[in-house]
Amino acid sequence: EAGVVQSPRYKIIEKKQPVAFWCNPISGHNTLYWYLQNLGQGPELLIRYENEEAVDDSQLPKDRFSAERLKGVDSTLKIQPAELGDSAVYLCASSTGAFSGETQYFGPGTRLLVL
Amino acid sequence: DAKTTQPPSMDCAEGRAANLPCNHSTISGNEYVYWYRQIHSQGPQYIIHGLKNNETNEMASLIITEDRKSSTLILPHATLRDTAVYYCIVSGNTGKLIFGQGTTLQVKP
């Protein structure tokens, strides 16, 4: 069974440029998560989707970050414009549901460097 | 969601058992204990989780104390490839994972 797929794996951009990350969850997983991981820190949740609905986006900086999951499968996370402090790893995870006892499976992440 | 406390780092000799402790004294009745690990430049990898009973799978064993206030992850025969950051997480009703700093396990030859 294929795991969570993310692309690109690495991205280097100049500040003020836009950038987008793509995630394809495990087949049949209705719940999708985007996490941000700064160097030396644990991942932090940005947004959670149940199918196509964003049900927890309280940690998403909405002035520059946006996300979508139009058909309830793939998802895209966008930053516009990027700032130097956005350099980090962006992780996608998925699970069959979002309730106690469920397991989230993570993709390899996209490593972003903003110059 | 309950917080967890882990030692920042541990060493283990290759081939020996690695026992990673975790304190979660504020855990509530319906919260699970999860363990993930993260090898450099990879995404977090699920290891094991449990509610009350001890659990074992092909990767590890999870021992949860009777009062559920602490747990231990056991890697029975550590290899160099087990060198990673290990996260102990308590997850509540929504399945939300709040990662701490984790324990950096260094397996030495």
User: What's the confidence (pLDDT) of residue B1?
Assistant: 63
| Residue of B52, B88, B94 to mutate when probing chain A, most A C-beta within 10 A | B94
Q: Do A101 and B95 touch (CB under 8 A)?
A: yes
Residue with the bigger pLDDT between B41 and B92: it is B41
Assess contact for A9 and A112: CB atoms under 8 A: no
Q: Do A45 and B100 touch (CB under 8 A)?
A: no
User: What's the confidence (pLDDT) of residue B94?
Assistant: 77
Max CA distance (Å), chain A? 41
The arithmetic mean of pLDDT across residues B30-50, rounded, is 95
Give how far Cα B92 sits from Cα of A12, A41, A71, B3, B32, Å: 36, 21, 28, 11, 7
CA distance A13 to A65: 16
User: What's the confidence (pLDDT) of residue A1?
Assistant: 66
Position A83 pLDDT exceeds 70:
yes
The arithmetic mean of pLDDT across residues B18-36, rounded, is 94
**Residue B81 phi, psi (nearest 5):** -75, -10
**Residue B32 is nearest to which of A100, A106, A109, comparing CB atoms?**
A100
Assess contact for A31 and A97: CB atoms under 8 A: yes
Contact list in B for residue A101 (CB cut-off 8 A) is 32, 49, 51, 95
User: What's the confidence (pLDDT) of residue B29?
Assistant: 83
The token duo for A59 is 């940690």
Q: What is the pLDDT of residues B61-84, one digit of tens each?
A: 999 999 999 999 999 999 999 999
Q: What residue in A sits closest to B96 (Cα-Cα)?
A: A98
Position B2 pLDDT exceeds 80:
no
Q: Do B45 and A106 touch (CB under 8 A)?
A: yes
Question: Mean pLDDT for chain B?
Answer: 94
**Residue A108 is nearest to which of B42, B94, B102, comparing CB atoms?**
B42
